[in-house]
């Protein structure tokens, strides 16, 4: 299914249960796909403004593309990956911290030409046995902002979310 030029309040896992989804040139208030594995469907989001993006423990087996988007708040993608098809994150602006802690990217990961305004921990080794792992074909190039940020402040805030400072 393709959605174009829409204002979407909430996108959740029920929108991806039956078929792959492409969203173009839209505003999405909240994307909440946490704790979900998409075995038969993929997600492509291009040219969108996204208020909140929750991908904690989200596995895109069939691939994920986030391209030419602005994400206004922090992105928690920890324990993600496990992809059998490419995960592509290109030409985006992330207004807040992007958390990739403990991700396992089994197939191609592309992170290129992004702006991380408040950093990301994509390239940091948090734990000796729980660091991010990448397929040998991963490409991480031409990004602006700190990619190895390692100062974490976990503070409980409404909804049990993690606050990064």
3-12, 65-74, 129-138: segment of lowest average pLDDT: 129-138
Number of C-beta neighbours around residue 17 at 10 A: 11
Cα 31 to Cα 40, 58, 76: the distances in Å are: 19, 12, 11
pLDDT tens for 94-152 read 999 998 888 888 888 999 999 999 988 888 765 545 567 777 678 999 999 988 876 54
Q: What percent of the chain has pLDDT over 90?
A: 47
- Where residue 78 falls (left for φ over 0; alpha for ψ -120 to 50; beta otherwise) is beta
- Classified as helix, coil or strand, 97 is coil
Average pLDDT in the 62-66 region?
Answer: 94
Higher pLDDT, 88 or 74: 88
Each domain of the chain, given as residue ranges in start order, spans: 2-13+21-149
| Rounded-to-integer distance, Cα 56 and Cα 48, Å | 20
How far from the centroid of its chain's Cα atoms is residue 30's Cα?
A: 13
Q: What percent of the chain has pLDDT over 70?
A: 85
């Amino acid at each position: 299914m393709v959605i174009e030029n829409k204002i979407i309040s909430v996108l959740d896992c029920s929108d991806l249960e039956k078929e792959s989804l492409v969203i173009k040139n839209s505003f999405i208030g909240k994307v909440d796909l946490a704790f979900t594995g998409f075995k038969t469907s993929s997600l492509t989001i291009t040219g969108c403004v996204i208020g909140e993006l929750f991908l904690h423990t989200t596995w895109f087996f069939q691939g994920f593309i986030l391209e030419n988007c602005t994400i206004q708040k922090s992105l928690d993608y920890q324990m993600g990956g496990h992809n059998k098809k490419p995960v592509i994150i290109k030409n985006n602006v992330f207004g807040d911290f992007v958390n990739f802690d403990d991700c396992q990217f089994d197939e191609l990961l592309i992170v290129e030409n992004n702006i991380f305004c408040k950093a990301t921990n994509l390239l940091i080794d948090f734990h000796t046995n729980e660091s991010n792992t990448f397929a040998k074909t991963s490409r991480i190039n031409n990004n602006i902002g700190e990619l190895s940020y390692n100062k974490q402040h976990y503070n409980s805030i409404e909804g049990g979310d993690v606050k990064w400072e």
